[in-house]
């Protein structure tokens, strides 16, 4: 086998960036993805990508970007890593520009910048309202070039199932399944990079794509990888609730004068304006989410008793709306069927992003040798809360680190023996048996219904407000769901494009991951960033200025939670004050 | 790099106007004289007959027969590449696209009949084309309808072909330009069709 | 609540690439703002036909549910559309779903569009940068040209335009409007234009731009409203010029 043979799982921004770096270093990549990589979730990102370009006469500095990120993350992010990312950001943007990303430009033809939440300076580079799509396409095109050159072999419509370790516990391959032919195959590699994105689908409906199920992360976690800070889940206050997914409604709506209200005693109640007279509808994201939650869940004042409130633009002149928010309103009309220029929109907070993920060091190594992780599936860069437009950056940047690091592994002697044919065959057989067992399940439960219940449970207890008693309850319920999983009945017994059977396997992984989120939230008795406990309303640096580490206990299926020190030496933690409006998306 | 398909396609496009389009116009104009009665028509025919026989034959073979056959045969091949779907996608342009192909197939047959009958058997057999000859031929309702449809099909095919040509050669680019060209050509089509119907009707009028 | 309203679906199914198609009918509980993907998800939860027969869940492809990934294209009531952006309220019932048969069917509504990605290789759909490392600052661009590029760069490879194009299909080798127009996107870019002639020459090959017959279905169905026919005409112009260059500059 030729040297420098790397497996990359995931073709989002991060996986593609890593792939390019590996090819440039002369490596060969097997690239696995659920979908053609050009359809990866990264393309949902609308707002933009942060980088200190300093072209607006504001004397913006990378240090300030660094500071904003650390502060926004409530000081829970590894500062060496964040600093590296902020310093590299402008270079990455120039690279994307050369690759042909059609960024929005100023009259002079240079890249335009916009304001974004949590940052004083204009620092967000954007391509209209589809930045993620454009960035992903640029990398997709470069990878296609490498594919033509023969350095990349794509395995699209393949699902990653598990990693394979050699006798020394070093990750030297994976097992994956072709989603059409259902054939399961084991692959050798020098090193493996996971770039499988976020776990939003564990919450049932979220703003992410249907493939963001965290299943791959859960699989390697069950094989010994540690998960960091999993309790930090970002909730976006204004999303359009849907039975299929919650669609993000940009915060620009509030910025342009949108008012949030619901009926109380038969009259419109502008509760944000009443609760926070100083900031009104422009309170920061987490505060808005909590207020809407309080009104709907505790006071039961949601529209028609459902969990939704109005976001009202109908008082603003249609012509002004068209100019400022055209595309966004289009999307609402398209997916809801109502015209937001005439009737108030109905919104509710939604799970949006996971700050937590596989624990990695600053080089994106997991605790399993030769297994790396980058992108939203890792825990790095965002601490307790992510700034808008920072995750496209972290996804791309982390790929520029994980790729070369994988090459380093492939050139070092530390990777030990490659997998023997017997090891490959054994790993494959485990997965084949597991899959056949799933196909033969004949119980009473429908997997999709069970997933729905899982989502409801997680949404109820593990999102905006967390209460220890309820988290205990949630954990018990999750255990019950895990037991009920065994009683699933699979309707589709075929061996061709059997989406149902694959979903059953993913669901198992999702339940296990859900337990990690729940337990980690239960253990962190403080409020920090996206994690809010009314019982412990303050940040507790004395006890919790630490990374939460979850490792799998195969007996109980529950995580063992420990805490790990990290580097916060560069900027001293200071209080993150919520009475300073952060605005932005 | 020599892209055979490309040049053939472009040649096919040009053949559609020169000589085919021009020849079609010539037909319409000459035949329109029929409205002026037998004398006018025969006079028009006589004008064409002034061209010396040998030269005419060369023109007919190289200027007409070869380009026609090429356009027809290659066109048939193009038409067969299409999976016409106006029932599903009932947009005007798509109907025109489908009609272009349906008329192509019809014209393929019609032109063979027309040329074999009039040019090869009749004229080639020594009988000159005259008003009386056509009048007698059109007495038969079958011939009449066939020729009327043939003319109308050819006119539509030509005019719509011009619209497509404006796009193929990048002449009409934007949506407005394309729509203007499209409408203009359909106007021309309508005028030519009216003229055709008129002169064809004149055979039946007396 | 009054009695449960339902939506009637007639779905053309097919168990595998070589199996015979058959139809199954389903009743899905109505909900405001129900879209076709959400309805298919309901069928997943309760895979029972209208007549009460248990069946397998319908197979289809989707990711983003926001009309950006392109995955969920299928033929809905006779026209190629994105299922996630098709509200059942806005189309007549019963709603007929069928796979886009311009492409090989994998199973049910899932199709194999790999040919589109192959075509992107053929038109050299990338900018030839030296590498992802720091080289130069990128050239300044005319903001208006960049805006045009932005429009074309929205193409999500959904294949609606190929499904609607009468000239694309098993009977022809036309690569179709989407990949053709992508060539223009790269030609517009200041760095991409260095390889303009290579892309134009690729379009002159068999199955390239000459196979377009100007039916203009593509521009009608494109869910991203890309002015495909405008760019096809522009490309025609460019290709013709390139042909002259090929003849006279050698
Ligand atoms: C609606 C929305 C808007 C957003 N807006 C912004 C924004 O404006 N700015 C910003 O910075 N960030 C934004 N984000 C966040 C950002 O989009 C993501 O965090 C980022 O794109 C993640 O990239 P990634 O490469 O890690 O993963 P993804 O792009 O999610 O890619 C994951 C890849 O892994 C593959 N995969 C996953 N599991 C498996 C498996 N088991 N087997 C095989 N393949 C697998 C998938 O097929 C896919 O190719 C937004 C997110 C959402 C949901
Ligand atoms: S205009 Fe050309 S590419 Fe578009 S649908 Fe018609 S034939 Fe196909
Ligand atoms: S051009 Fe439009 S219809 Fe065609 S693939 Fe692209 S987005 Fe889809
Ligand atoms: S699911 Fe992405 S376009 Fe419909």
> What is the distance, to the nearest Å, from the Cα of residue C170 to the centroid of all Cα atoms in its chain?
16
CA quadruple A344, A345, A348, A349: dihedral, nearest 10: -110
Res. A326 pLDDT band, cuts 50 70 90? confident
Q: Which of A32, A40, A96, A396 to mutate to test the pocket of ligand 1 (most atoms within 8 A of CB)?
A: A40
How far is residue A349's CA from residue A291's CA, in Å, rounded to a whole number? 10
Minimum-distance ligand 4 atom for the alpha carbon of C62: 1
Q: Write the DSSP assignment of C114-179 as a string of letters.
A: HHHHHHHHHTT-S---S-SS---PPPP--HHHHHHHHHHTT-----HHHHH-TT-STT-----HHH
How far is residue C40's CA from residue A334's CA, in Å, rounded to a whole number? 18
Give the pLDDT of residue C2: 53
CA-proximal residue: ligand 2, atom 6 (nearest): C215
Tens of pLDDT, residue by residue over B34-93, are 888 888 899 888 888 888 889 999 999 999 999 999 999 999 999 999 999 999 999 999
Query: How close does chain C come to B181, measured CA to CA in Å?
Result: 13
Using the mean position of ligand 1's atoms as its centre, give its distance from the Cα of residue B14 in Å.
Answer: 51
Could C205 and B5 be called an inter-chain contact, meaning their C-beta atoms sit closer than 8 Å? yes
Q: Coil, helix or strand for A574?
A: coil
What's the whole-number mean pLDDT along residues A423-443?
A: 97
Catalytic residue set of A:
285
**Number of folded domains that form chain B:** 1
SS3 content of chain B, % helix, strand, coil (to 5): 85, 0, 15
Give domain A240-350's CATH number out of 3.40.50.620, 2.40.240.20, 3.40.50.1820, 3.90.700.10: 3.90.700.10
How far is residue A470's CA from residue A461's CA, in Å, rounded to a whole number? 6
Res. A544 pLDDT band, cuts 50 70 90? very high
Res. A585 pLDDT band, cuts 50 70 90? very low
Cβ burial of B88 (10 Å; 0-12, 13-18, 19+) is middle
Tens of pLDDT, residue by residue over B98-123, are 999 999 999 999 999 999 998 888 88
Could C63 and A337 be called an inter-chain contact, meaning their C-beta atoms sit closer than 8 Å? no
What's the whole-number mean pLDDT along residues A98-123?
A: 89
Give the pLDDT of residue A256: 79
Using the mean position of ligand 1's atoms as its centre, give its distance from the Cα of residue A257 in Å.
Answer: 30
CATH of the domain at B124: 1.20.1300.10
Q: Which residues pair with A186 in a beta bridge?
A: A175
Ligand 1 contacts CB of residue A199 (under 6 A): no
Res. C1 pLDDT band, cuts 50 70 90? very low
Give the pLDDT of residue C104: 97
Tens of pLDDT, residue by residue over A490-528, are 999 999 999 999 999 999 999 999 999 999 999 999 999
Tens of pLDDT, residue by residue over C14-51, are 999 999 999 999 999 999 889 999 999 999 999 999 99
Query: Is the per-residue pLDDT at A241 higher than 60?
Result: yes
Query: How close does chain C come to A282, measured CA to CA in Å?
Result: 26
Query: How close does chain B come to C80, measured CA to CA in Å?
Result: 9
Ligand 3 contacts CB of residue C226 (under 6 A): yes
Where do we find the tokens 């690239």? A31
How far is residue B204's CA from residue B39's CA, in Å, rounded to a whole number? 17
Query: Is the per-residue pLDDT at C200 higher than 80?
Result: yes
For residue A33, what is the enclosing H or E element? strand A28-33
Domain borders along chain A are 5-196+358-419, 240-350, 422-564
Query: Is the per-residue pLDDT at B14 higher than 60?
Result: yes
Res. A351 pLDDT band, cuts 50 70 90? very high
Q: Which of C212, C220, C231, C235 to mutate to test the pocket of ligand 2 (most atoms within 8 A of CB)?
A: C212
Looking at residue A529, the DSSP 8-state letter turns out to be T
Picking from C165, C176, C170, the residue whose alpha carbon sits closest to that of residue C220 is C165
Tens of pLDDT, residue by residue over B162-204, are 999 998 998 999 999 999 999 999 999 999 999 999 999 998 8
How far is residue C218's CA from residue C210's CA, in Å, rounded to a whole number? 15
CA-proximal residue: ligand 3, atom 1 (nearest): C178
Instruction: Name the residue of chain C whose CA is nearest to A452's CA.
Output: C45
Instruction: Name the residue of chain C whose CA is nearest to B78's CA.
Output: C211
Could you give the strand order of the β-sheet that contains C73-76, starting from the edge strand earlier in sequence?
C22-29, C6-13, C95-98, C73-76, C79-82
Q: For domain A422-564, give the fold.
A: Methane Monooxygenase Hydroxylase; Chain G, domain 1 (1.20.58)
For residue A191, what is the enclosing H or E element? strand A191-194
Tens of pLDDT, residue by residue over A253-282, are 887 788 999 999 999 999 999 988 877 887
Tens of pLDDT, residue by residue over A561-579, are 999 999 999 999 998 765 5
**Proportion of chain A above pLDDT 70, given as a percent:** 98
Ramachandran assignment for C108, one of left (phi > 0), alpha (psi -120 to 50 degrees), beta (any other): left
Q: Coil, helix or strand for B39?
A: helix
Residue B115 lies in domain = 4-205
Give the pLDDT of residue C197: 95
Give the pLDDT of residue A257: 85
Partner-chain residue, chosen from B98, B164, B175, that has the shortest CB–CB distance to C214: B164
Give the pLDDT of residue A582: 40
- A124 and A384 in contact (C-beta within 8 Å)? no
Who wins on pLDDT, C210 or A254? C210
CA-proximal residue: ligand 2, atom 2 (nearest): C212
Query: How close does chain B come to C52, measured CA to CA in Å?
Result: 31
What's the whole-number mean pLDDT along residues C160-187?
A: 97
Using the mean position of ligand 2's atoms as its centre, give its distance from the Cα of residue C185 in Å.
Answer: 18
Res. C109 pLDDT band, cuts 50 70 90? very high
How far is residue C114's CA from residue C128's CA, in Å, rounded to a whole number? 23
Give the pLDDT of residue C143: 93
Q: Which of C226, C228, C236 to mutate to test the pocket of ligand 2 (most atoms within 8 A of CB)?
A: C228
- A68 and A244 in contact (C-beta within 8 Å)? no
Enumerate the residues of chain B whose CB falls inside 8 A of the CB of residue C216: 91, 93-94, 97, 178
**Proportion of chain A above pLDDT 90, given as a percent:** 84
Give the pLDDT of residue A185: 98
Print burial letters for A473-511: b (CB count within 10 Å at least 16), e (below 16). Answer: ebbebbeebbebbeebebbbebeebbbbbbbbbbbbbbb
Question: Domains plus CATH for chain C?
Answer: 6-111 (3.10.20.30), 114-248 (1.10.1060.10)
Could C166 and B85 be called an inter-chain contact, meaning their C-beta atoms sit closer than 8 Å? yes
Res. B206 pLDDT band, cuts 50 70 90? low
Give the pLDDT of residue A2: 55
Tens of pLDDT, residue by residue over A17-59, are 999 999 999 999 999 999 999 999 999 998 899 999 999 999 9
Tens of pLDDT, residue by residue over A438-483, are 999 999 999 999 999 999 999 999 999 999 999 999 999 999 999 9
Ligand 2 contacts CB of residue C208 (under 6 A): no
Class of domain A5-196+358-419: alpha beta
Q: How many Cα atoms sit within 13 Å of C11 on the Cβ side?
A: 32
CA quadruple A366, A370, A371, A372: dihedral, nearest 10: 70
Ligand nearest to the backbone CA of C169 = 2
Instruction: Name the residue of chain C whose CA is nearest to B174's CA.
Output: C230
Could C208 and B6 be called an inter-chain contact, meaning their C-beta atoms sit closer than 8 Å? yes
How many residues make up chain B in this entry? 206
CA quadruple C233, C235, C241, C246: dihedral, nearest 10: -140
What's the whole-number mean pLDDT along residues A116-144?
A: 91
Enumerate the residues of chain C whose CB falls inside 8 A of the CB of residue B83: 166-167, 169, 171-172
Interface check A456 vs C, CB under 8 A:
no
Could C85 and A335 be called an inter-chain contact, meaning their C-beta atoms sit closer than 8 Å? yes
Could B89 and C79 be called an inter-chain contact, meaning their C-beta atoms sit closer than 8 Å? yes
């Amino acid at each position: 086998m030729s040297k420098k043979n790397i497996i990359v799982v995931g073709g989002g921004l991060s996986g593609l960036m890593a792939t390019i770096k590996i090819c440039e270093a002369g490596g060969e990549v097997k690239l696995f993805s659920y979908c053609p990589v050009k359809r990866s979730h990264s393309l949902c990102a609308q707002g933009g990508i942060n980088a200190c370009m300093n072209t607006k006469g504001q004397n913006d500095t990378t240090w300030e970007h660094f500071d904003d990120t650390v502060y926004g993350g409530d000081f829970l992010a590894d500062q060496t890593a964040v600093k590296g990312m902020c310093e590299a950001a402008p270079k990455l943007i120039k690279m994307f520009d050369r690759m042909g990303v059609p960024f929005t430009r100023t009259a002079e033809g240079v890249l335009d910048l916009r304001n974004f939440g949590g940052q004083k300076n204009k620092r967000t580079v954007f391509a209209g309202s589809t930045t993620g799509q454009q960035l992903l396409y640029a990398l997709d095109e470069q990878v296609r070039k490498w594919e033509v050159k023969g350095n990349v072999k794509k395995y699209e419509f393949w699902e990653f199932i598990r990693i394979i370790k050699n006798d020394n516990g070093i990750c030297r391959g994976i097992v994956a399944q072709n989603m059409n032919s259902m054939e399961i195959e084991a692959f050798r590699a020098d090193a493996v990079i996971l770039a499988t994105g976020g776990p939003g689908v564990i919450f049932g409906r979220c703003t992410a794509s249907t493939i963001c199920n965290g299943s791959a992360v859960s699989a390697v976690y069950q094989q010994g990888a540690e998960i960091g800070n999993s309790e930090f889940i970002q909730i976006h206050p204004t999303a359009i609730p849907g039975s299929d997914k919650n669609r993000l409604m940009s915060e620009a709506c509030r910025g342009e004068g949108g008012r949030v209200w619901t009926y109380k005693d038969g009259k419109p109640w502008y509760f944000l304006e009443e609760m926070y007279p100083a900031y009104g509808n422009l309170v920061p994201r987490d505060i808005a989410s909590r207020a809407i939650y309080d009104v709907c869940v505790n006071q039961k004042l949601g529209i028609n008793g459902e969990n939704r409130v109005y976001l009202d633009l109908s008082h603003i002149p249609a012509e002004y709306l068209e100019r400022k928010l055209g595309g966004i309103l289009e999307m609402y009309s398209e997916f809801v069927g109502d015209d937001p220029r005439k009737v108030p929109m109905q919104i509710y907070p939604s799970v949006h992003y996971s700050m937590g993920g596989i624990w990695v060091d600053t080089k994106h190594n997991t605790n399993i040798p030769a297994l790396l992780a980058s992108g939203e599936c890792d825990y790095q860069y965002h601490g307790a809360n992510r700034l808008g437009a920072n995750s496209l950056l972290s996804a791309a940047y982390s790929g520029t680190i994980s790729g070369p690091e994988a090459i380093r592994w492939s050139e070092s002697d530390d990777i030990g023996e490659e997998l023997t044919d017997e090891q490959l065959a054994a790993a494959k057989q485990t997965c084949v048996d597991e899959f056949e067992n799933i196909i033969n399940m004949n119980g009473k439960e429908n997997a999709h219904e069970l997933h729905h219940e899982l989502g409801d449970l997680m949404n109820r207890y593990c999102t905006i407000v967390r209460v220890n008693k309820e988290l205990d309850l949630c954990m018990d319920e999750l255990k019950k769901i895990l037991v009920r999983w065994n009683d699933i009945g699979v309707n589709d017994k075929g061996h061709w494009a059997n989406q149902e059977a694959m979903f059953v396997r993913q669901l198992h992984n999702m339940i296990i991951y859900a337990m990690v989120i729940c337990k980690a939230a239960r253990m962190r008795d403080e409020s920090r960033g996206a994690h809010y406990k009314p019982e412990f309303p303050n940040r507790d640096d004395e006890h919790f200025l630490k990374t939460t580490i979850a490792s799998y206990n195969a007996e109980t299926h529950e995580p063992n939670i420990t805490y790990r020190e990290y580097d916060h030496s560069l900027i001293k933690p200071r209080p993150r004050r919520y009475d300073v409006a952060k605005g932005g998306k | 790099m020599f892209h055979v398909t490309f040049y053939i396609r472009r040649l096919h496009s040009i053949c559609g106007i020169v000589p085919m389009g021009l020849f079609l116009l010539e037909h319409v104009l000459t035949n329109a004289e029929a409205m002026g009665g037998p004398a006018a028509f025969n006079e028009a025919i006589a004008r064409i007959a002034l061209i010396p026989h040998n030269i005419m034959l060369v023109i007919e073979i190289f200027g007409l027969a070869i380009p026609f056959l090429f356009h027809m045969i290659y066109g048939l091949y193009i038409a067969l590449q299409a999976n016409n779907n106006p029932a599903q996608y009932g947009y005007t342009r798509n109907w025109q696209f489908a009609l272009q192909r349906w008329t192509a197939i019809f014209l393929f047959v019609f032109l063979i009949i027309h040329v074999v009958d009039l040019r090869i058997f009749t004229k080639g057999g020594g009988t000159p084309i005259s008003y009386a000859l056509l009048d007698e031929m059109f007495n038969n309702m079958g011939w009449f309808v066939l020729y009327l449809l043939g003319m109308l099909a050819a006119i539509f095919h030509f005019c719509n072909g011009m619209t497509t040509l404006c796009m193929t050669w990048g002449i009409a680019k934007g949506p407005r330009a394309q729509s203007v060209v499209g409408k203009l050509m359909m106007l021309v089509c309508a005028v030519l069709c009216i003229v055709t119907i008129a002169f064809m009707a004149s055979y039946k009028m007396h | 609540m009054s009695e449960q309203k339902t939506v009637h679906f007639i779905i053309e199914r097919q168990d595998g690439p070589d199996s015979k198609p058959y139809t199954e009918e389903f009743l899905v509980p109505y909900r405001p703002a129900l879209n076709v993907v959400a309805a298919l998800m309901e069928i997943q939860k309760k895979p029972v036909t209208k007549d009460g027969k248990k069946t397998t869940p319908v197979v289809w492809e989707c990711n983003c549910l926001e009309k950006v990934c392109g995955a969920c294209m299928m033929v809905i009531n006779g026209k190629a559309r994105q299922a996630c952006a098709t509200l059942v309220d806005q189309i007549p019932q019963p709603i007929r779903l069928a796979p886009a048969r311009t492409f090989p069917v994998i199973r049910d509504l899932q199709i194999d569009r790999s040919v589109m990605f192959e075509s992107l290789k053929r038109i050299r759909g990338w900018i030839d940068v030296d590498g992802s490392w720091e080289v130069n600052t990128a050239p300044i661009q005319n903001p208006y040209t960049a805006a045009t590029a932005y429009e074309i760069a929205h193409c999500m490879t959904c294949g609606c335009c190929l499904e609607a194009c009468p000239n694309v299909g098993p009977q022809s080798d036309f690569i179709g409007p989407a990949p053709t127009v992508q060539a223009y996107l790269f030609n517009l870019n200041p760095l991409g234009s260095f390889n303009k002639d290579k892309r134009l020459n690729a379009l002159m090959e068999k199955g390239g731009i000459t196979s377009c017959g100007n039916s203009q279905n593509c521009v009608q169905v494109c869910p991203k409203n890309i002015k495909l026919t405008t760019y096809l005409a522009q490309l025609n112009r460019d290709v013709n010029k390139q042909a002259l260059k090929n003849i006279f500059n050698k």
